[in-house]
Amino acid sequence: MAANTNREFKVFVRLVLLQPGAQSVSVAGDFNGWNPEQTKLERSEGGMWTATIPLKPGRYQYMFVIDGKQWIADPLADEASGDGFGSENAVLDVSI
C-alpha cells in the first residue's frame, strides 16, 4: 500500500478580541470567502471574544465583524495590509 502524500496539514489558530460592548463578533477573511456569518467568536468573561480555527499553512487577511456591521482589523495582529477600499486588513502568517 502506497503512503498518502496528499495530506493536508492544518494549524489551529486562536483569534482573540476584547469587545465588551458587542452583542456578536465574527471573523471574515480570505480563509472563509470573506463571509461574516461563517466563523463566529464565543464570548467569555470580561467581554473577551475567541475562536479557534483550523487553517492550512499560508498567508491570510481578515477582519473582525462587530454586531454584523462594524468591520475592524485585529488590533493584536503583527501586520496589516491595505484592502483597496481605504481600510486595512489584519494579516496572519500560518506555518507548521
Mean pLDDT, consecutive 10-residue stretches, the chain (96 aa), reads: 63 96 97 97 96 96 97 94 91 93
Which pLDDT does position 7 carry in this prediction? 66
Whole-prediction pTM value? 0.87
The residues near 85 (Cβ < 8 Å, ≥ 6 apart) are none
d(CA 18, CA 20): 6
Which pLDDT does position 85 carry in this prediction? 86
Domains of the chain: 12-94 (2.60.40.10)
Which pLDDT does position 28 carry in this prediction? 98
d(CA 7, CA 5): 6
d(CA 57, CA 72): 24
Which pLDDT does position 81 carry in this prediction? 94
